[in-house]
Structures are given as structure tokens and as C-alpha cells.
């Protein structure tokens, strides 16, 4: 069960990284993922 949580958390970080690279902006990536900009930059 703990591994599932870790994998999901890892995928969220990877998704944020990919969106940032794709869109070229942390603010745009945060908006597309429906989260805040500080969460993406973390």
C-alpha cells in the first residue's frame, strides 16, 4: 500500500515536470494541472 502512494506521488511530480517543459512556464503548467504555482515549483 505504501508503494502505491509513493508511485502516485512520483507520477504527480513527473506530470508537473512534463507540463512545465511542454508549456514553458510553471504558471501555465499549474493552471493546466489545476494546482497552484508554488506546488509546481516545489
pLDDT per residue as tens, the chain (42 positions): 455 566 667 888 999 999 999 999 999 999 999 999 998 988
Report residue 6 CA to chain centroid gap.
14
Query: Can you give the pTM of this predicted structure?
Result: 0.73
Query: What pLDDT, on the 0 to 100 scale, is given for residue 41?
Result: 87
Residues 21, 24, 28, 33: what is their CA dihedral angle, to the nearest 10 degrees? -10
- Number of alpha carbons in the 13 Å side-chain half-sphere of residue 9: 7
Domain positions in the chain: 2-41
pLDDT at 42: 84
Whole-number pLDDT of residue 5:
60
Amino acid at each position: 500500500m505504501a508503494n502505491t502512494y509513493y508511485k502516485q506521488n512520483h507520477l504527480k511530480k513527473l506530470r508537473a515536470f512534463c507540463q512545465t517543459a511542454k508549456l514553458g512556464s510553471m504558471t501555465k503548467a499549474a493552471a493546466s494541472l489545476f494546482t497552484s504555482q508554488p506546488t509546481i515549483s516545489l
